[in-house]
């Protein structure tokens, strides 16, 4: 294939595959926790890290990782202790992150807002070998956490009180989820962009939920969608000369719409098959009324 003859496209495709895996792998926990926009907030904070990278002549990817991790931890602390003023504190954090990124990159020698554009919306030609190395290391961490602690993270995402009663370190797991989300944002920013990465963390999961209800199936389908759209968007961007981040996000939304359209008839077909396979119910007068045990469980 012609596209594989170019080193920059090889790097871009590898980064795209890693983004397609990691973003939905973390996004499924954020969706369960009803924190779908957390990735968007972290993306705003990461802009300060990118600007500091240019200002200090350091790697923007690693600097963005450091700043976004600190921002994610601060967001969790605000969620725990912020109470009624928490939303204002989060707004200040998000807007301050954007403003800091723009200010620092303009203070950097030879820096301008044009340098920030590739990080905001993604860019194929600017993915360097050092970026690929950083993305591979960060993606390995994300996958290890998302898969290795899937039972614990799922329990906390579903019901924090129940998880706390069972002895799980809820606050530590919440912090780990926030840190993993922050790392995922920096993994994806070179391909999708900081302003669009949240869509890739959330929409594939929402699309997968249209077809499956179990956690394992939703996880697998979401990752499959993520990999498909990131590769498809990267290839389309190369041949059609369109922005990769916007193309990937639009393909993701298209996948969601298609699966949503298919989900309704599939659900009706399953319902009819289930109804046809059920044995006839007893007449109402023959049914045994259910009672409830003192602990609230149903019994007879």
Query: What's residue 300's pLDDT?
Result: 38
Query: What's residue 169's pLDDT?
Result: 92
Query: What's residue 251's pLDDT?
Result: 94
In tens digits, the chain (300 residues) has pLDDT values of 678 888 888 888 999 999 999 999 999 998 888 877 788 888 889 999 999 988 998 888 899 999 999 988 888 888 777 655 556 777 788 888 889 888 998 888 876 676 777 788 888 777 888 888 988 999 999 999 999 998 999 898 888 888 888 889 988 998 999 899 999 998 888 888 888 888 899 999 999 998 887 888 999 999 999 999 999 999 998 898 888 888 999 999 999 999 988 877 766 776 677 777 655 444 444 444 444 444 444 443
Residue 51: partners with Cβ closer than 8 Å, 6 or more residues away:
100, 101, 102, 103, 104, 105, 108, 111, 116
Query: What's residue 131's pLDDT?
Result: 84
| Distances, alpha carbon 42 to alpha carbons 37, 97, 231, in Å | 9, 9, 24
Contact (Cβ atoms closer than 8 angstroms) between residue 225 and residue 198: no
Query: What's residue 82's pLDDT?
Result: 66
Query: What's residue 270's pLDDT?
Result: 66
Query: What's residue 297's pLDDT?
Result: 47
- pTM comes to 0.81
Three-state SS letters, the chain:
CHHHHCHHHHHHHHHHHHHHHHHHHHHHHHHHCCCCCHHHHHHHHHHHHHHHHHHCCCCHHHHHHHHHHHHHHHHHHHHHHCHHHHHHHHHHHHHHHHHHHHHHHHHCCCCCHHHHHHHHHCCCCCCCHHHHHHHHHHHHHHHHHHHHCHHHHHHHHHCHHHHHHCCCCHHHHHHHHHHHHHHHHHHHCCCCCCCCHHHHHHHHHHHHHCCCCCHHHHHHHHHHHHHHHHHHHHHHHHHHCCCHHHHHHHHHHHHHHHHHHHHHHHHHHHHHHHHHHCCCCCCHHHCCCCEECCCCCEEC
CA–CA separation, 12 vs 7, rounded Å? 9
C-alpha 199: how far from its chain's center? Answer: 7
């Amino acid at each position: 294939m012609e596209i594989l003859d170019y080193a920059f496209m090889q790097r871009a495709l590898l980064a795209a595959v890693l983004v397609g895996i990691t973003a939905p792998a973390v996004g499924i926990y954020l969706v369960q926790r009803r924190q779908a926009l957390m990735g968007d907030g972290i993306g705003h904070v990461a802009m300060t890290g990118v600007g500091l990278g240019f200002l200090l002549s350091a790697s923007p990817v690693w600097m963005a990782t450091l700043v976004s991790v600190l921002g994610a931890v601060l967001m969790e602390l605000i969620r725990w202790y912020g109470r009624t003023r928490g939303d204002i504190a989060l707004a200040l954090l998000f807007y301050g992150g954007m403003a800091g990124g723009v200010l620092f990159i303009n203070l950097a020698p030879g820096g301008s807002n044009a340098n920030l554009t590739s990080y905001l919306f993604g860019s194929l030609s600017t993915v360097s070998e050092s970026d690929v190395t950083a993305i591979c290391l960060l993606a390995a961490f994300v996958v290890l956490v998302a898969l290795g602690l899937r039972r614990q993270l799922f329990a906390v995402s579903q019901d924090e009180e129940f998880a706390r009663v069972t002895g799980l370190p809820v606050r530590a797991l919440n912090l780990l989820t926030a840190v993993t989300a922050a790392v995922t944002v920096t993994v994806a920013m070179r391909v999708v962009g900081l302003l669009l990465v949240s869509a890739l963390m959330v929409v594939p999961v929402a699309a997968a939920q249209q077809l499956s209800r179990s956690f394992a199936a939703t996880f697998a389908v979401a990752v499959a969608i993520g990999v498909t759209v990131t590769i498809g968007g990267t290839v389309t961007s190369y041949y059609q000369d369109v922005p990769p981040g916007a193309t990937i996000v639009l393909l993701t939304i298209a996948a969601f719409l298609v699966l949503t359209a298919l989900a309704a008839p599939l659900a009706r077909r399953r319902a009819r098959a289930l109804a046809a396979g059920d044995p006839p119910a007893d007449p109402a007068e023959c049914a045994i009324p259910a009672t409830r045990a003192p602990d609230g469980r149903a019994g007879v």
